[in-house]
Amino acid sequence: MQKINDVLFGLISLGLSRYLEDHSTKPLKEGLRITGAAMVNLRPSSGLQETTELMKNKSGSRWGNKFGMMLLPTYYHKGGSDPLQYLKKAKTMIDRKKLSLEAYFSYKIGYFVMKVLGAKVKLTVLFFPFASLLNYKIICNTTFTISNVVGPKEEFMIAGIPVTYIRATSTSMAHAITMHMVSYAGKADMQILVAKELIPHPEKLAKCFEDALLEMKEAALKIHSN
């Protein structure tokens, strides 16, 4: 059974292949690897937590963010391939990643670096930004960032004004593409941020993602009807 993360990464894999096939200025090798970094929430209990519970001794809860990182590779394929193959490959890979300790170890390594060395390490008279450089190197060796956050399941209001959607993104990352998806009241909304010098037509990339989802839906309906 596929879950939303499987579908999300499947449509991203298919959409990227379609976009590169149509808009790449150079011929691409079949099976070209494109690697993304996915943020993973490592908190034992998801959602908002009461401040009083966080302040209790030995509560098991911690202040601030607690997330790790997983590297998710996808591969370029020319048109004509079965769209559901992207979904199947995405599910297989993500299932394996969930069983691994990759996200946990990435968090522990980052925590150790910040705890022991700090954001900057003093070498003689100079400060060496070790932790910052570590994160920067990881980002520079991947192509995109992706995250999926479960938001409120019911609609709510702020100061009497109904909230229609929740969107989030981040900037100043050394990535070609940054994608954040947040669900709200049964709907999922994905924000796409691109480096314009690498992807000059972000609206076409978004259209490729949309078409990829529709292709998967149509292929699944054909199998179900047969």
**pTM across the whole model:** 0.80
Domain of 143 in residue numbering reads as: 4-225
Q: What does the pLDDT read at residue 125?
A: 43
DSSP 116-168: II-SSEEETTEEE-HHHHHHHHHHHT-SEEEEEE---SS--EETTEEP-----
Q: Which pLDDT tens digit goes with each residue over 142-173? A: 999 998 888 888 888 999 999 998 888 887 77
Tally the domains of the chain: 1
Angle between helices 83-99 and 202-225 (to 10 degrees): 100
Q: What does the pLDDT read at residue 55?
A: 62
Residue 9 has pLDDT above 60, yes or no: yes
Q: Which CATH number belongs to the domain containing residue 61 in this structure?
A: 3.30.559
